[in-house]
Amino acid sequence: MRYVDGYVLPVPKKNLRAYRKIAQKGAAIWKEHGALEYLECVGEDLDNECGTPYPRLLKLKRGETAVFAWIVFKSRAHRDRVNDKVMKDPRMSKMFDPKKPIFDFKRISFGGFAVMVDA
């Protein structure tokens, strides 16, 4: 059964262009190491009455938006193998300058999910 890593994070709107470049590089690395799909989506319609809106969930600050992303794998074991390779890939450490973060790493929400419905 397919497996998905999903995450949501706050990104300052002024940093979206820089974040997109990093996301594109990350997507290429994950796909090169075996991920089936890699998607990153920027928040557009976030103010709603259903459940907990993303702005409140992420405690978005003025000028920030939510990025919702997921990576699809063949299985959890496949995810573990791919992520192990990705984390060892030297290109990953070159993508982020810890002195100039483009988003708040402490406010990322991340998890692995078994696919329940695939229509």
User: Cβ distance 73 to 1 under 8 Å?
Assistant: no
Instruction: Please count the residues of the chain.
Output: 119
Q: How far apart are CA 66 and CA 61, in angstroms?
A: 10
| Model confidence pLDDT, tens digit, residues 22-77 | 999 999 999 999 999 999 999 999 988 888 889 898 999 999 999 999 999 999 99
User: Cβ distance 105 to 40 under 8 Å?
Assistant: no
Pairing of strands 37-42, 64-73: antiparallel
Listed in sequence order, the residues at least 6 apart from 66 whose beta carbon sits closer than 8 Å to its beta carbon are 8, 9, 10, 11, 42, 43, 46, 54, 55, 58, 60
Quick one: pLDDT at residue 49? 83
- Identify the band that residue 104 occupies on the pLDDT scale cut at 50, 70 and 90: confident
Quick one: pLDDT at residue 112? 97
Q: How far apart are CA 39 and CA 41, in angstroms?
A: 7
Catalogue all structural domains in the chain, each as residue range(s) with its CATH number. Answer: 3-114 (3.30.70.100)
Q: How far apart are CA 61 and CA 31, in angstroms?
A: 32
User: Cβ distance 101 to 18 under 8 Å?
Assistant: no
Average pLDDT over residues 79-95: 94
